[in-house]
Amino acid sequence: MSWQFTFDPNRCTGCGACVVGCRLEHGERQTQAWRRIHTFNPMRHPALPLFHLSLACHHCEDPACLRACPADAYTQDPATGAVVIHPERCMGCRFCTWACPHDAPKFSASTGTIEKCTFCDQRLAEGLEPACVARCPVEALGLETRGPVEERNHAQAGLPPSALRPAIRFVPHRDRLPERPSAKGLNRFLDQVLAWPEAKITLRGEWALLLFTLTLQALAAWWVAMAAGGPEVRPLPFLTAGAVALALSAAHLGHPERAWRAVLNVRTSWLSREVLLVSAFLGLGATVLLLPLPEALRNPAVRIGAILGFTSLWAVDRLYRVALKAKPWNLHSARVLLGGHVLLGVLAGLPILIWGAGGLKLALYVARKVHFARAGRNPRWALSALRVAVGFLSPALLLDQPWLAAAALMAGDLVDRAEYYDELETDSPDRRMVLAILEKR
Amino acid sequence: MPVVTTACPRNCYSTCAMKVTVEGGRITALDAHPGNRATPEGPCLKGLSYVERIYHPDRILHPLRRCASGGFEQVSWDEALDLMVERLGPLRSEPQSLLHYNGSGTKGLLNGCSMAFWRLFGGCTTTYGDLCWPAGLEATRLTLGDNLHNAPWDLANARLLVFWGKNAAETNLHQMRFVDQAVEAGASCVVIDPRRTPTAEKADLFLQPRPGTDGALALALGHLLVREGGVDEAFVNEHVKGFEAYAERVAAWTPTRAAEVCGVPEAQIRELARRMASIRPMTIVPGFGMQRYTNAGQTFRALLALAVITGNLGLSGGGWQYANLATQVFSPVRDPLDFFPPEKPDGVVRVSVSTARLGQDMLAQQDPPLRAAWVERGNPLSQNPDTNRVREAFRRLAFRVVVEERLTDTAKEADLVLPAKTFFEQTDVIGAYWHGYLQLRPKVIEPPGEVKPETEILWALGQRLGIDETTLRTVLPEPGEAGVEAWLNRRLAPLGLVLDDLREGPVPAPGMPEVAWADRRFSTPSGKVEIWSDEAAARWGVDPVADFREPEEWASEPDQLHLLTPNTKNSIHSQFHMLPSLRGLGAEHAIFLHPEDAEARGLRHGDRVRIFNSRGELVLPLRLDFGLRRGVVVAYNGFGEEDGGSVNRLSLGRETDLGHGAAFHDCWVKVEGVRP
């Protein structure tokens, strides 16, 4: 029998007994709270009601964490519906924390792995309610057998919308006060108190991935340029850069020694697919560059390598789609497949790519800046001007020296993609709470 | 795994029953015990944090002696006892130079042993009054004769709930279940509080009066009820003394006048009166904070009169839920009478220090002046008013012993700190003041380290002082569980109970009412509900009928703010909030201010600010609270020096008009930014 949580925001006082009760149950396995209280209107704006959501993992029917995990560290118990992380299988890539809009998986710096709510599967097996449910003093949290998803009231403010079918049913919140003052005069103070959640993806935290993805963009473009009749790929720089890129991507893991697990979930994880494609590309590259292959084998291998190179760039771009971007469209100037095409144009001397892909990239970059300026975020005009001068103008002027132009192009892309990591954000209940206040004030 | 029934002995309404799981001599889990109908869903977050608390690395496990360098050193019990004999022994010739101070840190019948021991010592000086709730108790006692109310779960039957200054969602969480049951069944819930508390989210009518003006609001409601047919005349004619005088008093309190005094819209006052007149049964649930003003006793008499004249006494779903002393069955005198100094001193124990004025009164004692103090179950250096004064008085003493679980502000000032037990480490029986259950809290684990229960500390001290065992046995249980159980059984015997009756779960105290005053027989001098009280006038010098006066401390300068120091869900006074698992759950030590009051002082959310008056100051981060009444500033009670200092640096030692309570909230301050 599968279970679902029930939650009544009309009853919850935000006391936190569920959080403490969870810790009491899981003790040392828990290095941080698995269940958290998310408060709507914590500043107590008189125009708005105030309520809390006590949220942990919703044990989704279509769990994003499990689909995203490249290491096959998650399982879903068909009997209870519990989505369980197995820390001994986790390599600590944190991709699930990007993928889950409910903020359920928590990365522990001390263990280097993910930890999260277990649905108290041991207790369920003994016929007991989860600890948080059993220990809620006001009967706001409950447990029931899983019902139809459309009856779970997922329009609740604070619950990120998704197609994951979270196993939690909300009792609709009713504002008990018949009329509220508009108190518009207080809106001017909101900026001081609105607490946006801390970003899970930051440039500081992901510099290794920044370097990895840009190196891959350069290597793939170089290889494809060779396949298109451009400059030969030289083994030493290509293989050194490839090895460094792989090492960097492994180094950012909580458990680098488990990096091999990254290919265990090709069936659903874009990260697994990316790792597999990148490995195939670099592996084939090494084979072609190091082994004296006969011409009849080498030429098709180079062409297959080219396909693998750009396919892996596509996989890189694809996997970042689990995160939201601060701009409303998915096609953006920092995509490595786009950057790869511009670079290919420069290296192979293909004007249509230089001006077509390059022009598109410039247009997307400018559009992104304008969007930020309009949205009230700092567009960093000086940095942007530098990025355009280095990354667009100088390559255009240096086309007769492809290597210099390519270097300038990559320098520009370094800025572009660094900004991109800074802009990436993930969905979360706290983000939805702030958005709901901004919408309703 | 053994599972044992116990109950939480904190100074808290809920006094939850719990099941404790013990594995290998260690407590590993705490869970709900459905045998207590008031708390069937189990303890709050504080109760659930006991495992963390009792095994916390900061817990004191050995006697600690102050050393010359100012810090503490661990000493053996022998050394600790020698030191006490050396420093306290000589005081036996002038025993009243020793102050015995105990707080409300832990409930239990054995608490009484300590005072009995000091009588044996030769005597001591002690306090009268109480920090917590005497004004409300005395107002209720004068009006009804005793402090009783309906069973907690009966609140679910109310059709109109008036939470007046009580933030049950944080201070009596388990009451919220019954509130939910009532509102889910269609009841109306009114909340009156200057703060928008979590409890206020239940309200369909929410009034935010100026602090300290609730009496005026109540008199205006009385005015409207008398004028507009809200009086239950049959009840008043038969059971009430003084209605005419009351009607005369409220005649002057028009809603227009009260709206001005209280700073609430007149329409809200009229709406509340309309509901009180038309919805029955009504329960008024006043809080403790509101009776910590110098006008609070009279305020409470005015509030209680509303339940009286509408006839909401002695019926299910109706009444006045302030305090339920049904479990005070072990002594002939109930609160608040036993807080009062004896009319004739007995010459042994000098009851001469007002708890509310602890610092001033300690300094003022003569013949003999105070030279030493023994403190248990209390933390007066952060919890009594005017802590700077209390600190000064403690520092003036020659020798201080504090029995404590951790180094509180008070323990830090001690010459000797003795490790205190937790309630899992000695058997005792506890009552409650919201529900009417007697509960056993048995010894569940061995005390860790060298921890000794207070009764055993005193036994050892008595032996060292040369008091023979036969004499000690007259006031203390013999050391060990058998002695404690025999002692408790002797206390239970007159009730026809033995300890074993309590082992499975809570037992209703004999006479615990489901509906209080159902027989309409009130234990006042007249046998009626006295909204005219001669005793009030004679004993306290107040008007025999409730009236409204401004509190003694009232704004004298325009930029002063009224300071409120409420409790939060994360602490019982100075207990619990320091535990790591509670730290992340809100209730930080900060200054909360309305955004416009902050703006008027050029302050922004997050600024460091200084809050001060003539008594003291605190420097804390500023938080904007959009839901606070303007002119009010809030800082939470319970934090100590390690978090920036107690809010009681700012309060003044001053008694309430009735009951010898502490008027903590007669307190005005200024707030300014601190240059970084």
pLDDT tens, position by position, B95-125: 999 999 999 999 999 999 999 999 999 999 9
- Token pair for B282: 């009504």
- Say what percent of chain B tops pLDDT 90: 96
pLDDT of residue A353: 94
- In whole angstroms, what is the distance from residue B318 CA to residue B150 CA? 8
What ipTM did this prediction achieve?
0.96
**A330-384 pLDDT per residue, tens:** 778 999 999 999 999 999 999 999 999 999 999 999 998 898 888 888 888 999 9
Residue B336's Cα: distance from chain center in Å?
Answer: 12
Tell me if B202 sits within 8 A of B196, measured CB to CB. Answer: no
Q: Is the pLDDT of residue A107 over 90?
A: yes
Instruction: Give me the mean pLDDT over the A218-238 stretch.
Output: 96
Which pLDDT score, from 0 to 100, does residue A325 have?
A: 63
Looking at the predicted structure, is the pLDDT value of residue A64 above 80?
yes
- Taking CB atoms and an 8 Å cutoff, what residues of chain B touch A23? 52, 581
Domain regions of chain B by residue span: 3-54, 64-128+352-508, 134-325+520-540, 561-673
CB A413 within 8 A of CB A400: no
Q: Which residues pair with B632 in a beta bridge?
A: B562
Which pLDDT belongs to residue B195?
98
Rounded alpha-carbon distances, angstroms, from residue B195 to A50, B538, B647: 13, 36, 17
Question: Nearest-CA residue of chain B relative to A17?
Answer: B45
CB within 8 Å: B201 and A176: yes
Residue B223 has pLDDT above 60, yes or no: yes
Q: CB within 8 A of B592, min separation 6: which ones?
A: B623, B624, B625, B628, B633, B634, B635
pLDDT at position A222 is: 97
What's the whole-number mean pLDDT along residues B34-45? Answer: 97
Instruction: Please give the interface size between A and B, counted as residue pairs whose CB atoms are below 8 Å apart.
Output: 128
Mean pLDDT score of chain B: 97
Backbone φ/ψ region at A288: left (φ over 0), alpha (ψ -120 to 50), beta: alpha
Q: CB–CB of B522/B239 below 8 Å?
A: yes
Contacts of residues A70-78 at CB distance under 8 Å and 24 or more positions apart, as own/partner, are A70/A95, A70/A261, A70/A262, A70/A263, A70/A264, A70/A265, A70/A269, A70/A271, A70/A272, A70/A275, A71/A258, A71/A261, A71/A262, A71/A264, A71/A265, A72/A261, A72/A264, A72/A265, A73/A114, A73/A261, A77/A121, A78/A2
- Whether the per-residue pLDDT at A176 is higher than 70: the answer is yes
- CA–CA distance, A116 with A33 (Å, rounded to integer): 9
pLDDT-derived band at B331 (thresholds 50, 70, 90) equals confident
- For domain B134-325+520-540, give the CATH superfamily: Dimethylsulfoxide Reductase, domain 2 (3.40.228.10)
Cα separation, B54 vs B34, in Å, equals 24
Residues of A in contact with B177 (CB under 8 A): 137-139
The contact set of A with B (CB < 8 A) is 10-11, 13-17, 19-21, 23-25, 33, 37, 43-46, 49-51, 134-139, 176-178, 183, 185-186, 189, 192-193
pLDDT tens digit string along B450-502? Answer: 999 999 999 999 999 999 999 999 999 999 999 999 999 999 999 999 999 99
CA nearest A323: which of A213, A406, A428? A428
- Nearest neighbour of A24 by CB, restricted to B51, B582, B599: B51
**Structural domain B3-54, CATH architecture:** Single Sheet (2.20)
Q: What is the pLDDT of residues B559-597, one digit of tens each?
A: 999 999 999 999 999 999 989 889 889 889 999 999 999
Minimum mean pLDDT range among A258-272, A418-432, B28-42: A418-432
User: Using only C-alpha atoms, what is the Rg of chain A?
Assistant: 25
Q: Could you tell me which CATH number the domain at B64-128+352-508 has?
A: 3.40.50.740
Structure confidence at residue A332 (pLDDT) = 87
* Neighbour order of strands in the sheet with B17-23: B3-7, B17-23, B26-32
CATH architecture of the region B561-673:
Beta Barrel (2.40)
| Residue A328: pLDDT band with limits 50, 70, 90 | low
Under an 8 A CB cutoff, do A138 and B183 touch?
A: no
Q: What are the pLDDT digits (tens) for B153-169?
A: 999 999 999 999 999 99
Whether A16 contacts B582, CB under 8 Å? yes
Contact assignment for B624 to A189 by CB distance below 8 Å? yes
Q: Do B45 and A16 touch (CB under 8 A)?
A: yes
pLDDT band at B291 (very low <50, low <70, confident <90, very high): very high
CA dihedral (B59, B62, B66, B72) positive or negative = negative
Q: Which of A10, A138, A186 sits opposite B177 (nearest CB)?
A: A138
Joined together, the tokens standing for residue A226 give 């060779």
Q: What is the DSSP letter of A391?
A: I
Nearest by CB to residue A177, choosing from B39, B203, B626, is B203
A326 confidence band (pLDDT: 50, 70, 90): low
Find the helix packing angle between A235-251 and A207-227, rounded to 10°: 150
Rounded to whole angstroms, how far apart are CA atoms B446 and B425?
6
pLDDT at A28 over 90: no
pLDDT score at A364: 94
The residue ranking higher by pLDDT, A53 or A205, is A53
Is B384 in contact with B131 (CB distance < 8 Å)? yes
pLDDT of residue B144: 98
| Confidence (pLDDT) at A104 | 97
| pLDDT value for A327 | 58
Judge contact between B139 and B293, C-beta under 8 A.
no
A192–B569 C-beta distance less than 8 A: no
Under 8 Å CB-to-CB from A374, ≥6 apart: which residues? none
Residue-wise pLDDT for B243-260, tens only, equals 999 999 999 999 999 999
Mean per-residue pLDDT over chain A, rounded: 94
Q: What is the pLDDT of residue A379?
A: 84
Q: What's the token pair of residue A201?
A: 């993806």
pLDDT of res. A329: 62
- Cβ contact, residue pair A17, B202, below 8 Å: no
Nearest-angstrom CA–CA distance, A83 and B223: 62
CB A84 within 8 A of CB A118: yes
pLDDT above 80: residue A1: no
H or E element in which residue A307 lies? helix A295-319
Find chain A residues with C-beta within 8 A of B27's C-beta: none
Instruction: Measure the CA–CA gap between B479 and B477, rounded to whole angstroms.
Output: 6
CB B492 within 8 A of CB B429: yes
